[in-house]
Amino acid sequence: EIHIGSRTLSLIDISGVIASFIALFVGIRLFQAFVSNRLLVQTNLDIGVRNAIGSGIGYVGIGVLLFFTLSMLGLETKELALIFGALSVGIGFGLQHVINNFISGLVLLIQRPIKSGDWIVVGENQGYVKQVNVITTEIQTFDNAALIVPNGDLVSSQVINWMHKSKLGRVVVPIGVSYDSDPMQIQKILLDIAN
Q: At 9, is the pLDDT very low, low, confident or very high (cuts 50, 70, 90)?
A: low
142, 126 Cβ separation under 8 angstroms: yes
Q: Is 115 helix (H, G, I), strand (E, B) or coil?
A: coil
pLDDT tens sequence across 172-190: 889 899 999 999 999 999 9
Q: Which whole number is the average pLDDT over 83-98?
A: 71
Residue 109 · residue 119 · CB < 8 Å: no
SS3 17: helix
Burial annotation 156-186 (CB, 10 A radius, 16+ → b, else e): eeebebbbeeeeeeeeeeeeeeeeeeeeeee
Which pLDDT score, from 0 to 100, does residue 195 have?
Answer: 94
Is there a contact between 141 and 134 (Cβ–Cβ < 8 Å)?
no
Q: pLDDT for 109-143, tens place per residue?
A: 788 888 888 999 998 899 999 988 888 999 999 99
Stated pTM of the model: 0.52
Q: Does 144 have pLDDT greater than 80?
A: yes
